[in-house]
């Protein structure tokens, strides 16, 4: 019984602390809008439409879409992206061909057309908007990381040597 | 002559009336002057011709098209989210802007073809969403082939290649228009399908997957 009480007290404390922490996080992103109210939506910004490829931050990153895809239909009936990026269409569109990895089924067999599991392009590939991000991204790519001078005073390194 | 007409037969009476009418029509008028006849003909012509065109234009409006739920619930709803309905400058296309030729003779031809659509309306060919989706490919092909045949005339009623300032277009658009539109290799509808309504199943359509 006393053990249960302690458990409940501990759970309550955790809940309280995390609620406070979350409330603080939200208050940054939400501005001064109370939690039970919906703030007016920020105005929409136009999609970037430069057609210039953005750098990839890591090798497996799905390339970003450097053009507007407003109104493009990607459904079970039609795929507007493939009308330019499919293997059979790139000679005319001069668009980059969908990677050959997308023509492989899950057993690695290359199919004649894009594999169904890779059909819905915008699951991974997205256009970009010029916006002021509410939270800055401090991602560092591997090249920048490798170029940094090694930190000499890390205890873990000393131990292993 | 009239007294000879037997009263028991409808067809015989009708025939006698037609004969008498024809006799009257081919005789010169004994009551009205030539001036009155010409003037009356002129006025009647204005009324009939004006009435005909007014009625024709009434059927050439978006409120008329959307009186049928087949149009209001399917294609018109889909149009509303596209740039041809809602955009920054507020200039928009109405149904007949794209679907009825503006030039008179072609307009009449299209209006006569539309009698088939009345037949479909009466017999409920697309009176549910599912039926509409089943017919969508055929309906879309109708419009695509019409635009392909007239070099996308209805597009060009507003979008003229001469007035296109490619320096204000995106790099992709400039490239495509310079290579295909200005050279006449392709016409608008070849690339711009599904811009005002949702697309049908495109697997059988050339240049699509």
DSSP-assigned letters across all residues of B27-96: SPPSSS-HHHHHHHHHHHHHHHHHHHHHHHHHTTSHHHHTTSHHIIIIIHHHHTTSTTTS-SS-----HH
Q: Give the per-residue pLDDT at A9.
A: 75
Task: Give the percent of chain B with pLDDT over 70.
Answer: 96
Q: Give the per-residue pLDDT at A134.
A: 77
Pairwise CB contact (< 8 Å): A51 & B198:
no
A78: buried, middle or exposed (CB in 10 Å: 19+, 13-18, 0-12)?
Answer: buried
Q: With an 8 Å Cβ cutoff, is A94 touching chain B?
A: yes
Confidence of residue B192 (pLDDT cuts 50, 70, 90): very high
Pairwise CB contact (< 8 Å): A75 & B207:
no
Any residues with CB less than 8 A from the CB of A104 and at least 6 apart, and which?
Answer: A110, A111, A115
Q: For residues B173-189, give the mean pLDDT.
A: 95
Q: Give the per-residue pLDDT at A72.
A: 94
Q: For residues B40-61, give the mean pLDDT.
A: 94
DSSP string, A117-144: GG--GGGT--B-B----SS------HHH
Q: Is the pLDDT of residue B84 over 80?
A: yes
**Is this structure's pTM higher than 0.80?**
no
Q: How far apart are CA A79 and CA A120, in angstroms?
A: 8
Q: Give the per-residue pLDDT at B46.
A: 96
Q: For residues B82-109, give the mean pLDDT.
A: 93
Pairwise CB contact (< 8 Å): B209 & A71:
no
The SS3 of residue A110 is: strand
CA distance B199 to chain A (A): 7
Which residue positions in chain A have pLDDT lower than 50?
1, 158-161
Q: How far apart are CA A141 and CA A54, in angstroms?
A: 14
Q: Give me the residue from A49, A71, A113 closest to B209, CB to CB.
A: A113
Q: With an 8 Å Cβ cutoff, is A114 touching chain B?
A: yes
Interface test with B, best of A73, A76, A78 (most B CBs within 10 A): A78
DSSP A41: P
Which helix (H) or strand (E) segment is A11 a member of? helix A2-30
Q: Is the pLDDT of residue B101 over 70?
A: yes
Domain A45-132, CATH homologous superfamily name and number:
Flavocytochrome C3; Chain A (1.10.1130.10)
- Chain B residues within 8 A of A74 when measuring between CB atoms: none
Q: Is the pLDDT of residue B57 over 80?
A: yes
- Chain B residues within 8 A of A79 when measuring between CB atoms: 202, 208-209
Pairwise CB contact (< 8 Å): A78 & B201:
yes
Whose CA is closest to A56, among A45, A65, A47, A48?
A: A65
Instruction: For helices B115-122 and B104-113, give the axis angle rounded to 10 degrees.
Output: 30
Q: How far apart are CA A64 and CA A58, in angstroms?
A: 12
Q: What is the pLDDT of residues B132-162, one digit of tens each?
A: 999 999 999 999 999 999 999 999 999 999 9
Q: For residues B40-69, give the mean pLDDT.
A: 94
Q: Is the pLDDT of residue B125 over 70?
A: yes
Q: Give the per-residue pLDDT at A62.
A: 95
Q: Are A50 and A66 in contact (CB under 8 A)?
A: yes
CA distance A74 to chain B (A): 10
Q: How far apart are CA B71 and CA B62, in angstroms?
A: 10
> What is the overall mean pLDDT for chain B?
92
- Please report, for chain A, the start and end positions of each structural domain, with discontinuous segments joined by +: 45-132
Distances (CA, A) of B152 to A150, B61, B82, B93, B157: 65, 21, 19, 15, 9
């Amino acid at each position: 019984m006393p053990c249960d009480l302690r458990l409940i007290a501990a759970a309550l404390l955790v809940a309280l602390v995390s609620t406070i922490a979350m409330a603080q996080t939200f208050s940054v992103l939400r501005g001064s809008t109370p939690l039970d109210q919906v703030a007016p939506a920020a105005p929409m910004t136009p999609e970037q439409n430069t057609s210039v490829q953005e750098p990839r931050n890591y090798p497996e990153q799905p390339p970003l879409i450097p053009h507007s895809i407003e109104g493009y239909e990607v459904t079970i009936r039609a795929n507007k992206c493939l009308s330019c990026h499919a293997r059979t269409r790139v000679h005319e569109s001069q668009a980059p061909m969908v990677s050959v990895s997308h023509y492989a089924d899950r057993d690695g067999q290359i199919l004649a057309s894009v594999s169904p599991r890779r059909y819905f392009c915008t699951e991974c590939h997205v256009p970009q908007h010029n916006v002021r991000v509410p939270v800055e991204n401090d991602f560092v790519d591997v090249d920048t990381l490798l170029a940094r001078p090694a930190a000499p005073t890390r205890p873990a390194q000393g131990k292993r040597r | 002559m009239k007294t000879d007409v037997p009263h028991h037969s409808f067809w015989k009476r009708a025939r006698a009336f037609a004969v008498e009418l024809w006799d009257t029509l081919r005789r010169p008028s004994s009551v009205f002057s030539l001036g009155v006849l010409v003037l009356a003909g002129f006025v009647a012509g204005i009324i009939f011709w004006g009435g005909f065109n007014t009625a024709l234009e009434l059927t050439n409006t978006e409120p008329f098209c959307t009186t049928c739920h087949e149009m209001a619930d399917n294609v018109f709803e889909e149009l509303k989210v596209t740039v041809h309905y809602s955009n920054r400058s507020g200039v928009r296309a109405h149904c007949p802007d794209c679907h009825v030729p503006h030039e008179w003779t072609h307009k009449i031809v299209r209006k006569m073809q539309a009698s088939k659509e009345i037949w479909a309306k009466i017999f409920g060919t697309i009176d549910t969403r599912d039926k509409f989706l089943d017919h969508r490919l055929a309906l879309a092909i109708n419009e695509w082939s019409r635009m392909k045949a007239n070099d996308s005339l209805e597009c060009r009623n507003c979008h003229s290649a001469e007035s296109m300032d490619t320096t204000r277009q995106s790099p992709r658009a400039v490239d495509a228009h310079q290579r295909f539109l200005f050279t006449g290799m392709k016409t608008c509808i070849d690339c711009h399908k599904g811009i005002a309504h949702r697309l049908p199943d495109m697997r059988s359509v050339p240049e699509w997957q």
